[in-house]
Amino acid sequence: MRTTLIAGNWKMHLLSEEARQLVRGILAGLARVPSERELLLIPPYVWLMPVAAQLRETSRVKLGGQDVHWEGEGAFTSAISASMLRDAGCEYVLVGHSERRHVFGDDARTLARKLRAALAGGLQAIYCVGEQLAQREAQETEAVLDRQLQEVLGGLGTEEMQRLTLAYEPVWAIGTGRTATPEIAQQAHAHLRRRLAEEFGEAVASQVRILYGGSVKPDNAAELLAQTDIDGALVGGASLAAESFLGIAMAGSGVS
């Protein structure tokens, strides 16, 4: 059975004391979150080790990095390797977030190299896919998702796929306040799972978690998480306040 993962991507936000306060708030409310739900914090690199120190008192909240380089070490100013992330306390890393694609220019070859480096380095990778508004309006969503899967995941083995999570993030819904309806999100998630089954088999497809990302908030999380193929959320702005992040983590569980 797939467990629900609620991941908070802090992006380039928060100073040191704000980060500490946020983690304290999440830990203070952790007992209210159903035990079967896994939480993940993805802070900026400079706060990884301080956050890791705060999380030592619980095994329920994991730590992740926002990106990874494809090499293990070298003259790559500003980059960070899988081994560095592991050493800082990370278990997860994002690969292919829409901002990496559309702001920083990460192409398919780059993302494929990053993903393989993350998996080879012992990390669990969250690979992000999703269409832009013009692509959705042109009814190209499924073709875009197919291409993003094939270009980056093609050739992976079963063992590698067991350490992979997908995140569907329609680019037109990220930080815009627009959210895909639960029906639209479920349709995309179901399509992704069918493609995984075709490429890697039903057993793998049934195990891979697929998160939804795109203006997830406490008031829309329950309906999204209730969908058959939505296994959690990749949360942006709402992860920057403890109560809203915890509200998403508790959504639909009957706990308030």
- Is residue 255 in some structural domain? no
Total number of domains constituting the chain: 1
- Is residue 229 in some structural domain? yes
Q: Is the pLDDT of residue 241 over 70?
A: yes
How many helices (H) does the chain have, and how many strands (E)?
12, 8
What is the value of pTM for the model shown? 0.96
**Domain of residue 51, residue span:** 4-250
Burial class of residue 158 (count of CB atoms within 10 Å of its CB; 0-12, 13-18, 19+): exposed
The torsion angles phi and psi of 247, rounded to 5 degrees, stand at: -60, -40
Q: Is the pLDDT of residue 83 over 80?
A: yes
Using one digit for the tens of pLDDT, what is the confidence trace for 245-255? 999 999 987 66
- Is residue 240 in some structural domain? yes
Strand-pairing partners, residue 125, are 93, 164
Average pLDDT over residues 86-102: 97
Does 102 qualify as catalytic in the annotation? no
Contact 106, 96 (CB under 8 A): yes
Long-range Cβ contact pairs of 72-78 (< 8 A, separation 24 or more): 72/117, 72/121
Write down the catalytic residue from 97, 99, 131, 189: 97
- Is residue 233 in some structural domain? yes
Work out the percent of the chain whose per-residue pLDDT is above 90.
91
Contact 207, 246 (CB under 8 A): no
If one compares 64 and 57, the residue with the highest pLDDT of the two is 64
Look up residue 101 and give its amino acid: R
Average pLDDT over residues 210-217: 94
Mean pLDDT of the chain: 95
- Is residue 256 in some structural domain? no
**Cα–Cα dist 247/32, whole Å:** 10
Using one digit for the tens of pLDDT, what is the confidence trace for 26-55? 999 999 999 999 999 999 999 999 999 999
- Is residue 62 in some structural domain? yes
- Is residue 22 in some structural domain? yes
pLDDT value, residue 256: 58
- Is residue 165 in some structural domain? yes
Query: For the domain that residue 106 is a member of, what is the CATH number?
Result: 3.20.20.70
DSSP reduced 3-state for 167: strand
Write down the catalytic residue from 38, 99, 160, 169: 169
Does 199 qualify as catalytic in the annotation? no
Strand-pairing partners, residue 9, are 42
Using one digit for the tens of pLDDT, what is the confidence trace for 163-212? 999 999 998 887 777 778 999 999 999 999 999 999 999 999 999 999 99
